[in-house]
Structure 1
Amino acid sequence: MSDISVVIPTYNRLWSLPQAVESCRSESCDVEIIVVDDGSTDGTWEWLRAQTGIVAIRTENWGKDWAVQTAMAAARGDYVRFLDSDDWLAPTANGEQLALARRTGADIVVAGYEDHDDATGARQVHEWVDCDDFIAQQLGEVWSSHYSAFLFRRDFIRDIPHRQDFGLRDDRLFILEVALRNPRIEVYRRPGFVHRQHGAERLQRTAGFRRDLGHWTYIAIFRKVLGMLEARGELTLRRKRAAIAVMWPNVRTFAKTYPSEAAEIVDWIHRLDPDFKPPVRPVLAGAYKLLGFAATEKLLRLRTLWR
């Protein structure tokens, strides 16, 4: 057994992986570093095999979610955290978050994080924002940080998978499923990890159909979670409005390509909150009311194409 298992899925990121791995090591606790190379072709596997103190696993490029699930099956730590291979942990985060978890019995130790811009060297700290409703927070009521900054009790999350069906937004669904279990939470008041801004490929950067699929996936996650809350009698107006505020920009963007499908989501939003007023200019709100959402969005698209 280890104190902490750090799960690092990676694909063709040998340029950043060594720093991510090194950041996991700690003098104050026993850290198990699990790196799953998801079929890299840049020498990642050869580098991993030459390292010591790493649990290295090779998979056949089935994607991040399967890589994470493979690592979780091998994990032996009392606690676990997830780290992308182009980011790195804050120097004291593992030891200090572990100490806080053990002292309080927390299921999750949450934290803010730090952004690092490779191009300029600029750094910006995003501190944790306190909220008295963790579910509403993760639905978008206030800023909810990034789950790589969190330390999770492994027994609490062991049967919550990273779901490939929602691969473009898998971490959002994961943390919402965690929130639905009403975890005991403690706050670490320093950054938990450093999120690297760079120009290389990233799963979140999409275009064309994948961009539209990303917006649809986000909406589908919120519909599913709100449905679960409703079935449990826990879908408060506060939680509805938090989710709607996050979904609305995704719906508008999705409507540029799929206006009829987006209109169905708008109808559902109005059923959720009959008092919902679209945060748009009055003339556009009037057009929605007069012509309907789909027809208005189609006209807007035609106007854009003819400019």
Structure 2
Amino acid sequence: MVDISIIIPTFNRLWALPRAVESCRSDGCTVEVIVVDDGSTDGTWGWLQERKDVVSIHQANWGKDWAVATGMAAARGTYVRYLDSDDWLKPGANEEQFAQARQTNADIVVAGYEDYFEGSDRTELHPWMDCDDFIAQQLGEVSFSHYSAFMFRREFVADIPHRQEFALRDDRLFVLEAAIKGPRLAVYGKPAFVHRHHRQERLQRTAGFKKDLADWTTIEVYRKVVGLLELAGELSPRRKRAAVAQIWPVVRTLAKTQPEVAAAAAEWIFKLDPAFVPPVRKSIRWAYDRLGFRVTERLIGTLTFFRRPPLSGPPA
């Protein structure tokens, strides 16, 4: 009997993987560590072959979502958790969260987490914030924590894949879909996981076209979830407000480079919550009313451009 399966997708992170794997060790419960090597070329597979206590799976480089799906197919634990190979779990998190899960028969054991900033060794605590509406919380009403700090009953999430079409925000959609299912929750009162900030490549770190794609994906995640809630008759005004407040800054950021896409998203927001008052200056709200979102944001972008300092000093 396996208590917890921990799925670690990895690609060329041998510099960090050993710590992630070691952090999964637990004395108080039975843990299987499943590492899915997504076609690494840095010696990861050779290192894994020497770890007889790790379930090692090799696949071609199809990306994180397929790696997680491969790991889930192999998992045997009553509970499952997901860990990036450059992060790690806090000591005691596995056994203590599992003990809570057994005691409460929870579908999800939630927890806070820590940020660790490599180079300065600075840490920042993000404690779990209690909220009486788990869906509203995960939509952004209050801090929704990080899904690697959570432990999920495997049977409860077995039908929720990490969806490739939302790959840059797949974990956010995953938790929102789990929330919609109405899980029994237990709250672990300590940080369960450490999220490492570093200068190496990371899926969440985007710029240029990828940044636009990440913002668009975030908007699409919220549109999908709002649609699911509306279909189920569970889209309360509170949940609408949470979704709109969370997505509005993303829409404004996207307007700088993709005005048409952002304008369509803004129109969706105003239709979803007609009472929404954008948190901007009164003059900008006035312009939204008179000129529309698209024209207003284009004018703001033009003014911002002309206010930029010159790239070089005046001629000698």
TM-score under structure 1 length normalisation:
0.98
Equivalent residue number for residue 311 of structure 2: none
CA-based RMSD of the aligned residues comes to: 0.9
Matches within 5 A, 1:260-279: 260-279=260-279
- The one-letter code of the counterpart of 2:198 is H
1:259 shift after superposition: 1.3
User: How many Å separate the matches in 1 of 2:302 and 2:221?
Assistant: 30
- Counterpart of 2:290 in 1: which secondary structure? helix
Matches within 5 A, 1:216-231: 216-231=216-231
Equivalent residue number for residue 144 of structure 1: 144
User: How many Å separate the matches in 1 of 2:253 and 2:136?
Assistant: 23
User: How many Å separate the matches in 1 of 2:13 and 2:264?
Assistant: 40
Equivalent residue number for residue 101 of structure 1: 101
Equivalent residue number for residue 12 of structure 1: 12
User: How many Å separate the matches in 2 of 1:124 and 1:214?
Assistant: 24
User: How many Å separate the matches in 1 of 2:147 and 2:77?
Assistant: 17
- Counterpart of 2:70 in 1: which secondary structure? helix
Equivalent residue number for residue 48 of structure 2: 48
- Counterpart of 2:190 in 1: which secondary structure? coil
Matched, 1:82 2:82: yes
Q: Deviations over 1:114-166 (max 9, x none)?
A: 11111111122211000000000000000010000001100100111000100
Equivalent residue number for residue 214 of structure 2: 214
Matches within 5 A, 1:1-307: 1-306=1-306, 307=308
- The one-letter code of the counterpart of 1:180 is I
User: How many Å separate the matches in 1 of 2:62 and 2:137?
Assistant: 31
- Counterpart of 1:189 in 2: which secondary structure? strand
1:302 shift after superposition: 2.1
1:215 shift after superposition: 0.5
Q: Deviations over 1:65-90 (max 9, x none)?
A: 00000000000001000000000011
Give the number of equivalent residue pairs: 307
Q: Percent of aligned pairs with the same residue?
A: 64
User: How many Å separate the matches in 1 of 2:223 and 2:114?
Assistant: 30
1:303 shift after superposition: 2.3
User: How many Å separate the matches in 2 of 1:262 and 1:120?
Assistant: 37
Q: Deviations over 1:247-273 (max 9, x none)?
A: 001100111112122112111111111
1:38 shift after superposition: 0.4
- Counterpart of 1:191 in 2: which secondary structure? strand
User: How many Å separate the matches in 2 of 1:86 and 1:14?
Assistant: 9
- The one-letter code of the counterpart of 2:265 is I
- The one-letter code of the counterpart of 1:297 is E
- The one-letter code of the counterpart of 1:62 is W
Tell me whether 117-126 or 75-84 shows the greater mean CA deviation: 117-126
User: How many Å separate the matches in 2 of 1:261 and 1:99?
Assistant: 47
| Unpaired stretches in structure 2, ≥5 consecutive residues | 309-316
- Counterpart of 2:301 in 1: which secondary structure? helix
TM-score under structure 2 length normalisation:
0.96
User: How many Å separate the matches in 2 of 1:3 and 1:240?
Assistant: 37
Q: Deviations over 1:159-204 (max 9, x none)?
A: 1100010000000000000000000000000111111111111100
